[in-house]
């Protein structure tokens, strides 16, 4: 077996000599190592000279490999940077998408806040209370429109409660459930609202004529002329479901009804297609637990609208209430025979001015 | 003998390039605290493996060759210490192979780790003896994974070369036959 490996036992050194040879070689190597270390320590110049010879022999092998591996390392480093950039890119895209979504939500909330702030500064007169509600649905037909709001009997809403928006009168509650209600819009063909023109105080009734149709103003006295462009407000008689002073719309044209009586065609002040928030007008006593109906007392109240609906109207004040010197808002009464109506004159903030006017005119009405 | 020489060359050149040229560049890709992982003692491992397989003399010669390659490729002041460390572990590996039968990967890994540790200690001791202001800390993680790699390499080499105890047994058997 050993012969098969080419070793001849006769030619081999004895075991003892082999051990001595190995030990001698070990000692020689260790001494050589010590000598090399001592030489590197104490004869540095000579060491570097001899070392350079050895390095020159290895350099053709080592240096190209170093350069090659360095290139690969740089390439891998660039790929790693690209990977990180891609990860950053994806993260930034996610953040951008999230930020856009938040921006949309914030814009939506801001719009809602602006609308609600307009309503919030529009305070109800003493004895009444505004209950904000969201329009959650619309039921339309040829005859008119029903709005679904997210307030119901649990919130104190009862049948025939009037509903307004920032622009004017919306309608009246026709059906209630525990947590929602249906509001009959004034454009509905079943709707009738007592109204009066602002400028001539001509009283009459406004009838709904169905969806996408103008309202119809039928004067109480056919002989009374009304002008195109006249603004109409709720007249607020004792038996009316609507308080006095709610903006209804503007007369845009003249026409004749089925009986040949001259009527005015009225454009509603409220854009029903874009309506999102409304206010339900409730008797304050109902919020204290008294289950009062709406019809008996609401006509006695006067509410001033917070919009600038009357700004272009030429008013001739006959009586001024309030402190003219200190308040920029001045409540004016127009027409001594008719119920008082609050007008704004020179108000920098119509909403706040409307608050002042509301209080003043309600006191005057009482 | 020629096969052994070819095997040594086939091991030494890639090990030299890996240890001196490639892995130091690859360290740039790792964070600072992990760079010692790419400082394996492959040339010392060669001396250990050959020593375990073929005994003291081949181990020492392999160690000497590896030490010269490493010393000339790196810095001149380390040449002597490297020669001492590599030759010493080559000799010790041969001695261990004569006294122990290396079976089981854990025992092999422990032996190789021990020899790598001895090499580092001898190297540090020599450097400290002559220069004093040297770093004496031991790269434990590097030694461990180099030992594990050496264990796998040893197992591969066993498929090519018979271990030392088997060769000695064959020699004893041949001697006994010739004497009878």
pLDDT in tens, A236-270: 776 778 888 888 999 999 888 888 888 999 999 98
Residue of B nearest to A76 (CA): B29
Q: What does chain B look like in DSSP terms, one character per residue?
A: -HHHHHHHHHHHHHHHIIIIIIHHHHGGGS-GGGGGGG---HHHHHHHHHHHHH-HHHHHHHHHHHHHHHHHHS-GGGHHHHHHHHHHHHHHHHHHHHH----SHHHHHHHHHHHHHHHHHHHHHHHHHHHS-------HHHHHHHHHHHHHHHHHHHHHS--HHHHHHHHHHHHHHHH-
* A209 vs A93 pLDDT, higher one: A93
Beta bridge partners of A283: A128
Percent of chain A with pLDDT over 90: 24
Which residues make beta-bridge pairs with A263? Answer: A255
With cut-offs at 50, 70 and 90, classify the pLDDT of residue A330.
Answer: very low
Separation between Cα atoms, residue A119 and residue A185, nearest integer Å: 19
Residue in B20, B57, B84, B162 to test binding to A, most A beta-carbons within 10 Å: B84
| Predicted pLDDT of residue B164 | 72
Look up the ipTM and state it: 0.84
Q: Most A CBs within 10 Å: which of B9, B31, B168, B174, as the mutation test of the A interface? A: B174
Q: For chain A, positions 147-166, list CB contacts with chain B under 8 A.
A: none
Find how far residue B119's CA is from the centre of its chain.
8
Specify which of A1-5, A316-320, A349-353, B28-32 reaches the highest per-range mean pLDDT: B28-32
Chain A, chain B: beta-carbon pairs less than 8 Å apart:
123
Q: Within an 8 Å CB–CB cutoff, is residue A252 touching chain B? A: no
Chain A nearest-CA distance from B5, in A, is: 15
Q: What digits encode the pLDDT tens for the residues A18-51?
A: 888 889 999 999 999 999 999 888 888 888 888 8
Q: What is the pTM of this model?
A: 0.51
- Residue A55 Cα, gap to closest chain B Cα (Å): 5
Spans of chain B below 70 pLDDT: 35, 175, 177-180
Given CB atoms, is A17 within the 8 Å cutoff of chain B?
A: no
> Which pLDDT tens digit goes with each residue over A180-232?
999 999 988 888 898 988 888 888 999 998 877 899 999 888 777 778 888 89
Identify whether the C-beta of residue A356 lies closer than 8 Å to the C-beta of residue A322.
Answer: yes
Of the listed ranges A69-83, A196-210, A289-303, B92-106, the one predicted with least confidence: A289-303
Q: Do A73 and B171 touch (CB under 8 A)?
A: no
Per-residue confidence at A128, pLDDT binned at 50, 70, 90?
A: confident
pLDDT value at residue A341: 33
CA distances from B61 to A55, A110, A287, A344 (A): 20, 84, 105, 110
C-alpha span between A220 and A227 (Å, rounded) = 15
């Amino acid at each position: 077996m050993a012969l098969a490996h080419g070793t001849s036992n006769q030619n081999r050194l004895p075991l003892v000599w082999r051990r001595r040879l190995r030990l001698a070689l070990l000692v020689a190597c260790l001494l050589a190592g010590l000598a090399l270390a001592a030489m590197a320590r104490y004869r540095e110049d000579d060491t570097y000279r001899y070392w350079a010879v050895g390095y020159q022999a290895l350099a053709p092998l080592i240096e190209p490999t170093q350069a090659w591996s360095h290139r690969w390392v740089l390439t891998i480093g660039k790929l790693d940077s690209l990977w990180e950039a891609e990860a950053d890119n994806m993260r930034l895209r996610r953040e951008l998408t999230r930020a856009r979504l938040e921006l949309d939500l914030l814009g939506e909330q801001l719009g809602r806040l602006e609308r609600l702030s307009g309503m919030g500064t529009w305070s109800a007169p003493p004895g009444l209370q505004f209950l904000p509600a969201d329009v959650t649905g619309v039921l339309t037909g040829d005859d008119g429109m029903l709005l679904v709001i997210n307030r119901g009997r649990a919130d104190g809403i009862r049948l025939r409660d009037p509903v307004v928006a920032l622009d004017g009168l919306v309608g009246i509650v026709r059906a209630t459930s525990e947590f929602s209600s249906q509001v009959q819009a004034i454009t509905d063909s079943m709707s009738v609202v007592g109204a009066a023109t602002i400028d001539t105080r001509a009283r009459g009734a406004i009838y709904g004529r169905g969806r996408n149709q103008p309202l119809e103003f039928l004067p109480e006295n056919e002989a009374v002329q009304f002008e195109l462009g006249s603004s109409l407000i709720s007249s607020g008689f004792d038996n009316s479901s609507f308080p006095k002073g709610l903006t209804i719309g503007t007369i845009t044209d003249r026409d004749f009804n089925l009986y040949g009586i001259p009527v005015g065609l009225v454009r509603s002040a409220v854009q029903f297609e874009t309506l999102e928030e409304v206010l339900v007008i409730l008797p304050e006593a109902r919020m204290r637990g008294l289950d009062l109906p709406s019809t008996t007392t609401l006509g006695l109240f006067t509410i001033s609208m917070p919009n600038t609906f009357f700004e272009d109207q030429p008013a001739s004040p006959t009586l001024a209430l309030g402190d003219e010197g200190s308040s920029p808002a001045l409540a004016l009464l127009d027409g001594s025979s008719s119920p008082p109506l609050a007008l704004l004159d020179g108000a920098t903030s119509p909403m706040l001015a409307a608050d002042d006017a509301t209080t003043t005119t309600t006191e005057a009405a009482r | 003998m020629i096969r052994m020489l070819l095997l040594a060359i086939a091991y030494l050149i890639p090990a030299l390039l890996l240890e001196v040229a490639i892995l130091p560049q690859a360290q740039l890709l790792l964070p600072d605290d992990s760079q010692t992982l790419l400082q394996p003692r492959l040339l010392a491992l060669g001396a250990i493996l050959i020593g375990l397989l073929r005994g003291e003399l081949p181990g020492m010669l392999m160690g000497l060759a590896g030490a010269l390659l490493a010393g000339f490729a790196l810095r001149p002041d380390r040449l002597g210490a490297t020669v001492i460390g590599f030759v010493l572990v080559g000799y010790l590996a041969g001695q261990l192979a004569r006294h122990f039968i290396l079976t089981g990967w854990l025992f092999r890994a422990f032996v190789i780790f021990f020899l790598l540790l001895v090499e580092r200690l001898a190297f540090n001791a020599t450097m400290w003896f002559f220069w004093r202001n040297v770093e004496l800390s031991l790269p434990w993680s590097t030694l461990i994974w180099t030992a594990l790699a050496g264990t796998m390499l040893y197992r591969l080499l066993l498929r090519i070369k018979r271990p030392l105890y088997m060769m000695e047994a064959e020699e004893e058997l041949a001697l006994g036959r010739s004497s009878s």
